Chains A and B, each alone.
Chain A
């Protein structure tokens, strides 16, 4: 990572000048003190307007293969464009953002120490994305266990890790980010949306909204499970308040399993072992 871009990106990430009325920044929804998200069901943007999707954590987002629940952005740079200009989120527009930043001599001096060309939306997005790539959590008990520290997981968490593999959670929640590297339908072994008992929303359609392909209905990017114990509420619409509820629903609709109380507790214990050290905590 280019540390100069990381530093500049950190400032831009928290800069409310990127929003239309100067009240909202990326950090408003991606609060580092709240595990990189906002802790509410759906994003609250400019003038308190509500979006349709749950805010995903920004931590480890650089390890995801796509961005957004429906994967419509291939890169963090592309992602940064979405909320910034979305009328419900930050409602910014690039010419105005550029004009505001150009009037800030301190900002421009820092910018010109990195780039010799004119201030551009592309470079602003590059700096924000570079900062986001730096937001990696580490040294979760499970990471330590994988590195050979066998006592890093307690007996219950270890049982949960075995169940995680045996029941098949790992088929989708896999890779370095324990998720975030494929799409999956919500409701493989049962009709989740029918059983849920609420009318479907646009957000429920998932990747279908991007491709228009019937196979992509209810298809979502599998979320990373890193720090999942801290990122309630859950699912694309934030409709599931607790991790316990989320585990039960996933077991039933994705794996066709009704967990026993012991299995449920063990998996929760394992998921708690995925909580790492946040960026900034070691400074």
Chain B
């Protein structure tokens, strides 16, 4: 499975390569077969697609880094791409080379837009759970009584905060096992946590599990 961060890195990169090939084909083929008028349209659509892809990639980067949290812009660029694709018709018999490039492009585009949907979901879940976890973990740790038996929980919660941040940033190489190990360790100490704090701990751990599950997907 692709990592959370790869979800938006590679597919759009691949798409751009295919679109570039399409543009190149559209530039060369008129010279080769002299079908300038229809290919002018294809070339124009290729340029529009490149522009929309670039804007979509930018929108996704802004979402990924919290500059924006609204998916409307990314959706609009995706819809623009779909619209241009629907407007573009290529006859396989007349322009087989362009047609092949176009089919490759459509397959890559479809895969990218499907991955965009997965990204939107995982991004919403990870960011929401991270915000919930970080907003609650400090108060929770301060609420823990100053007893030796509680010390491992406090230490593990601090480690877990760091691990989750790193994981949510998509930089978890080598740390894949750290979060589950810490969660298991904290859960094994649940009985030493005062009863009135257990539901909050369980809530925080639930969010930790969401981050772990969806950021490493």
Interface residues of A (CB under 8 A from B): 65, 74, 166, 168, 170-172, 174-176, 181-185, 188-189, 215, 219, 255-257
Contacts and interface: CB of A to CB of B under 8 A. Distances in A.
A182 B124 contact: yes
A170 B132 CA distance: 13
Interface string B73-90: 001001100100000000
B121 A183 contact: yes
A88 B72 CA distance: 33
A172 B75 contact: no
Which label, helix, strand, loop or mixed, suits the secondary structure of the B interface?
helix
B69 interface: yes
Contacts of A182: 71, 117, 120-121, 124
B198 interface: no
Contacts of A174: 69-71
Nearest to B199: A258
A188 B210 contact: yes
11 contacts: A65-B71, A65-B79, A168-B132, A175-B72, A176-B72, A182-B71, A182-B117, A182-B120, A183-B120, A184-B124, A255-B128
A180 to B, nearest CB: 10
Contact of B207 (A215, A219, A256): A256
Given A185-B121, A256-B206, 8 more contacts: A65-B75, A174-B69, A175-B75, A182-B117, A183-B120, A184-B124, A215-B118, A255-B132
B59 to A, nearest CB: 12
Interface residues of B, number: 23
B154 interface: no
A257 B120 CA distance: 22
B150 interface: no
Given A182-B71, A215-B118, A171 B210 contact: no
A171 B122 CA distance: 11
Interface string B107-142: 000000000011011001101100110010000000
A182 B131 CA distance: 20
Which label, helix, strand, loop or mixed, suits the secondary structure of the A interface?
loop
Contacts of A168: 128, 131-132
Nearest to A177: B72
Contact of A74 (B82, B121, B124, B203): B82
A181 B132 contact: no
B71 A171 contact: no
A1 to B, nearest CB: 16
Contacts of A74: 79, 82
Which of A175, A183, A188, A219 has the most C-beta atoms of chain B within 10 angstroms of its own C-beta?
Answer: A188
Which of A74, A171, A183 has the most C-beta atoms of chain B within 10 angstroms of its own C-beta?
Answer: A171
Contacts of A65: 71, 75, 78-79
A171 B72 contact: no
Contacts of B128: 168, 171, 255
Nearest to A211: B114
A171 B82 contact: no
B75 A183 contact: no
A166 B134 CA distance: 12
Nearest to B135: A166
Contacts of B82: 74
A67 to B, nearest CB: 12
